[in-house]
């Protein structure tokens, strides 16, 4: 089992920045990838960004150039740096870990972009 604890959500004005953190604990050996998904009201959950164990990254088209994903292996933590935020980025953001064919999810953290 992998436990995930997210932090860093909040309210920010359009054009602002937020950094989300996700700390993993438990059986964290052999994690294949860590990433972030988001779900806006009445919309399906969507992939935002992912980073593999080899360091490769991928982003949703809507956030490319604005969001960055990186990790600190010593802290077993993955971060999502969100810049130039737009109202349409408002959602609950979920941390995700993929390990040996299984997926683990965090509890979610709300990010709201509004003036």
**Which string of DSSP letters, residue by residue, matches 43-80?**
S--EEEEEEETTS-EEE-TTTTTTEEEEEEGGGTEEEE
Q: What is the pLDDT of residues 44-100, one digit of tens each?
A: 999 999 999 899 999 999 999 999 999 998 888 999 999 999 999 999 999 999 998
Q: What is the pLDDT of residues 4-43, one digit of tens each?
A: 999 999 999 999 999 999 999 887 778 889 999 999 999 9
Give the three-class secondary structure for 12: strand
């Amino acid at each position: 089992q992998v436990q995930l604890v997210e932090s860093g959500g909040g309210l920010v004005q359009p054009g602002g920045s937020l950094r989300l953190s996700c700390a993993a604990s438990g059986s964290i050996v052999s994690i294949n990838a860590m990433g972030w998904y988001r779900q806006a009201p009445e919309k399906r959950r969507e992939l935002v960004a992912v980073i593999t164990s080899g360091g490769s990254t991928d982003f949703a088209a809507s956030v490319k150039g604005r969001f960055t994903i990186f990790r600190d292996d010593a802290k077993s933590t993955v971060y999502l740096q969100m810049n130039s935020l737009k109202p349409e980025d408002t959602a609950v953001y979920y941390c995700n870990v993929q390990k040996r064919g299984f997926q683990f999810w965090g509890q979610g953290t709300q990010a709201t972009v509004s003036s």
